[in-house]
Structure 1
């Protein structure tokens, strides 16, 4: 789940040395004008040119990443120093922890590695330390009255699938079940309790109480002016997105800055984390250069009316659910997200239902000859689809991966996505208003979580890949809950835009109609559903972690987290402004200073 491993066979090596040549096609990006959406008419044959739609602004990134220089000598120097520091930290992790006090320190050290974005270098060592620590948890927690320590140990165990009891927090409660007011004086402890509480399941009242107690108090602490600025900043960031629901590298960028301001920071670890992050940033820029070239060559911007979201860089950002070390899989995921964006916008924003039916029928077959049955403007979309799937197959690295695609896994997921448009079109054509649950059942299939996970599984070995694929085919409750949560967030943030376009196929709209309630009441209820769904995800994670490798489950959580980040401050994908844009700038533009 956490951090890179540069020696994995599926990472993209350095450009101009052993950086692989990837077949590329394109999707050019142009500068953002900054103007509001305007109604325009499509160009083309008479029928198409008479069709009105909302023009969406182009990506503001343009061809930026084609002009960003990457110093290969610097990358090689960074990699050498990183390898040297890895040896030192590994020695610290494999050294036997003598006594319960040392075991406790070791678990806290693991949390530090996770937060600094370094844990991926030490997967086996961390797993072994957590296994030993969990066996000694009773003794480790006996008499421990430091809120920060208890909360942090709870967080790290739960994050790695160990079902540590939330009863450890009873020592900080009064007899009536509320938390002691004296805890408020401990800013770091309060923040850690807040973070731990986001790992709650459906039946843990004590963590529910912690989430009632901590946010307001933390806001007062952060705004009160009495805390060091770096602690206030960390609190504000966590109140915006808790660590449990953040992307590991977004969190690491902020935590490295926080850690540097801590008086007792370890200079070697700080250096290691900065080198690691900067190396990754240069690597991400290389990937973005590859994708920008790929998108530029296809020229769909020129071939299609501007009804679709031109969001290559945003698609790459969404692909950050694929872990840092799996470069090829992240690039494939970004391309698939771009494909889905084009198809989704075509069906939702522009195509007539008869055209959508023809497109879906062609997607069911996925053979080149089908293109002749499509309207002219859809032909580039279908060819684009065929190219993406062909390229995905060509980029597999082994017979196991090839057979994985031969089974039609990714193609089948894509077809499931496409079929949902038929159902909504039929409802609209017959003036049928589905219930909220009916709409959610169909809408959940439009979420690309399942397809994204299929792509992320390519980085696994044959045994784990087969295990993960069979698990995903069973439509596990964990992944269905993540998809449901994504759908709720998507439709809530996109509600106004959908209604303005006359698109009533939105779960907010269906809930309002079914229950005859206001938009405000509907949002209150759906936000409750979002929180309940998160609890389900946490609970299922702990159940499945007993039998499923944790690195497989972390892939699912990572994909879900990218949805939460994307929709946290509005629809960041459609309108990449505010914090969403800040995240991309922080990762891809503002290099980590050394």
Structure 2
């Protein structure tokens, strides 16, 4: 249980409003990552008395049932079809590889390869060609000045920038100056280049700190693309591409969700490559069939847990949504075990979250926290019966992962260390203190640690060592998640009487209005986004891509969660649509 070993009791702190929740309202120790003293933060919990006979009269809000139930239990996957798809993938893969690695080393050929890499990423097949892509990018970046010299096509420049930045190559933003006029503003003439505008919009989301030209590009493209979308003057598939980008930029989008949309877009492009399109489609369908098999296994496992008969109906039954989150971290076939394990762990996070946030009282939650810290089944005697069920479920799930070989055995769960407390009572931390502790409290570290479970043992050890160093990239990501979490959940917090959040702390410290606080914190979150991008560029050469990518993809999962509002709790809208497009509606070949 390596993630527990590394991060101790943070396991019990899922984020807040959707899959993850912040825990407040009673003392909760977290282990310091720097070796300095930790702090006690407040955990949300109900204020009912701890007496067990009060439980039957406890008030709680019944949450919507799962939209999927046992839907995937009856799913049928044709193994012979999967084998046929796998064979066709292996047949076409060398042909696609030749399109990437053709022998010509001219500047134009190198430029074409970079644009082709974008197609591979967007169509969801880049994972087949990781070594070839890295070789092409390394060679291409050495020729970057030659490639951009005299190039005035907005699409080409923007896509090259997106590809290089996405893979950790710090291509200069000066390249976009050629699209500005004498007034130092972007030229109106480029507005008519719709594909170029979309690509510039996508590129602008990879900006780092102090890259004002990309801030201007974001504002310019957003304004004009929104106008184009309203006018509806372009072809339907172009309009859909614009709307999808405005809803969720590719930089933030989960790779397979974007690929599903982009395959449909690419198919309607007049100049699409039929062989490449075929490869993308059979690859995607092969993945879908794999995912459906796993969902069938997971649904059977979830049914066997039978939590609905063991617990009051206060918790969210969101197995399929938990698996969707796992897909955002690991979608490739070889990561099946890690993907399934991560989905199970996500259900643990959700149950613990809802137990603490929606049902347990202060003393009960404190007792559960102590059990999680000790990570010992013998400590359950102090728990009420329903919390024994919660702890057993968490314990058994991690035991399953260990027995499956996804975690190493014999690890220490020691969380000893001196603790520095916020004093008992109503002492309020400053906003900066809250953001610092909240970034850790938001469970970013333990969740990323769990996302490493699908890697091999040596890669996991390297990944945990890097994560325990508390890299600035993850720290900035955690703070951004805390701000997004508190902004999204503010109204819900206030309605339930919880005033421990970034908005309230900021208002109290800086004596500003609620409206001004929201404006400032939203800007702060945007600024942290550029810090994340900057730290990724600094980290790329020192941390293997397969490790860094899991942490990046976890950030995408957070973005998806908060852009969806309360859809994890009330799973309609985009959550339902994405589950349907990935796991229900098989792509047509």
Residue aligning to 1:508: 503
Query: TM-score, normalised to structure 2's length?
Result: 0.87
Q: Map of 1:222-301 to 2, 5 A cutoff?
A: 222-301=229-308
Shift of 1:554: 1.4
Q: Distance in 2 between matches of 1:50 and 1:445?
A: 35
Residue aligning to 2:550: 555
Aligned alpha-carbon RMSD (Å):
2.4
- SS of the equivalent of 1:338 reads helix
* 1:499 matched to 2:498: no
Aligned equivalent of 1:537, options 532, 537, 543: 532
Q: Distance in 2 between matches of 1:304 and 1:392?
A: 23
Aligned equivalent of 1:485, options 480, 483, 502: 480
The answer to which of 133-142 and 54-63 deviates more is 54-63
Shift of 1:519: 3.4
User: Is the 8 Å Cα contact of residues 144 and 150 (structure 1) preserved in structure 2?
Assistant: yes
Q: In the TM superposition, what whole-angstrom CA distance separates every residue of 1:228-281 from its partner, at most 9, and x where no partner exists?
A: 110111011001110000001100111101100110000001111111111111
Q: Map of 1:176-255 to 2, 5 A cutoff?
A: 176-255=183-262
Shift of 1:91: 2.4
- SS of the equivalent of 2:224 reads helix
- SS of the equivalent of 1:52 reads coil
Aligned equivalent of 1:330, options 339, 347, 354: 339
User: Is the 8 Å Cα contact of residues 323 and 343 (structure 2) preserved in structure 1?
Assistant: yes
How many residue pairs get matched? 540
Shift of 1:462: 4.3
Residue aligning to 1:102: 109
* 1:151 matched to 2:158: yes
Residue aligning to 1:449: 444
Q: Which runs of 5+ in 1 are unaligned?
A: 1-38
Q: Distance in 1 between matches of 2:163 and 2:105?
A: 20
Shift of 1:213: 0.8
Query: TM-score, normalised to structure 1's length?
Result: 0.86
Residue aligning to 2:385: 376
* 1:83 matched to 2:90: yes
Aligned equivalent of 1:393, options 395, 402, 409: 402
- SS of the equivalent of 1:243 reads coil
Q: Distance in 2 between matches of 1:307 and 1:441?
A: 31
Q: Which runs of 5+ in 2 are unaligned?
A: 1-45
Structure 2 CA distance for partners of 1:508 and 1:290, relative to 1, 3 Å: farther
* 1:65 matched to 2:66: no
Residue aligning to 2:517: 522
Q: In the TM superposition, what whole-angstrom CA distance separates every residue of 1:458-492 from its partner, at most 9, and x where no partner exists?
A: 34344433322211011111112222222222222
Q: In the TM superposition, what whole-angstrom CA distance separates every residue of 1:47-105 from its partner, at most 9, and x where no partner exists?
A: 11222222222211111111222121211111111111112112222332331111111
Aligned equivalent of 1:365, options 348, 371, 374: 374
Q: Distance in 1 between matches of 2:59 and 2:270?
A: 60
Residue aligning to 1:121: 128
- SS of the equivalent of 1:392 reads helix
Shift of 1:177: 2.6
Shift of 1:407: 4.1
Residue aligning to 1:473: 468
Q: Distance in 2 between matches of 1:92 and 1:406?
A: 48
User: Is the 8 Å Cα contact of residues 67 and 571 (structure 2) preserved in structure 1?
Assistant: no
- SS of the equivalent of 1:201 reads coil
Q: Distance in 2 between matches of 1:549 and 1:378?
A: 40
Q: Distance in 2 between matches of 1:196 and 1:232?
A: 19
Residue aligning to 2:13: none
Aligned equivalent of 2:324, options 317, 323, 335: 317
User: Is the 8 Å Cα contact of residues 223 and 232 (structure 1) preserved in structure 2?
Assistant: no
Residue aligning to 1:574: 569
Q: Distance in 2 between matches of 1:559 and 1:292?
A: 24
Higher RCO (CA 8 Å, separation ≥ 6 residues):
2
- SS of the equivalent of 1:95 reads coil
Residue aligning to 2:357: 348
Shift of 1:291: 1.4
User: Is the 8 Å Cα contact of residues 356 and 365 (structure 2) preserved in structure 1?
Assistant: yes
User: Is the 8 Å Cα contact of residues 318 and 563 (structure 1) preserved in structure 2?
Assistant: no
Q: Map of 1:2-17 to 2, 5 A cutoff?
A: none
Aligned equivalent of 1:112, options 119, 124, 128: 119
Aligned equivalent of 1:74, options 71, 75, 81: 81
- SS of the equivalent of 2:427 reads coil
User: Is the 8 Å Cα contact of residues 292 and 312 (structure 1) preserved in structure 2?
Assistant: yes
User: Is the 8 Å Cα contact of residues 321 and 555 (structure 1) preserved in structure 2?
Assistant: no
Q: Distance in 2 between matches of 1:503 and 1:374?
A: 25
Structure 2 CA distance for partners of 1:447 and 1:316, relative to 1, 3 Å: farther
Q: In the TM superposition, what whole-angstrom CA distance separates every residue of 1:315-345 from its partner, at most 9, and x where no partner exists?
A: 1112223221212111111111111111122
Structure 2 CA distance for partners of 1:311 and 1:506, relative to 1, 3 Å: farther
Q: Distance in 1 between matches of 2:262 and 2:189?
A: 26
Q: In the TM superposition, what whole-angstrom CA distance separates every residue of 1:268-311 from its partner, at most 9, and x where no partner exists?
A: 01111111111111111111112111111112222122222221
Aligned equivalent of 2:434, options 439, 449, 453: 439
Shift of 1:180: 0.8
Q: Distance in 1 between matches of 2:441 and 2:308?
A: 24
User: Is the 8 Å Cα contact of residues 53 and 307 (structure 1) preserved in structure 2?
Assistant: yes
- SS of the equivalent of 2:251 reads helix
- SS of the equivalent of 2:61 reads strand
User: Is the 8 Å Cα contact of residues 52 and 384 (structure 2) preserved in structure 1?
Assistant: no
User: Is the 8 Å Cα contact of residues 161 and 550 (structure 1) preserved in structure 2?
Assistant: no
Q: Distance in 2 between matches of 1:329 and 1:442?
A: 29
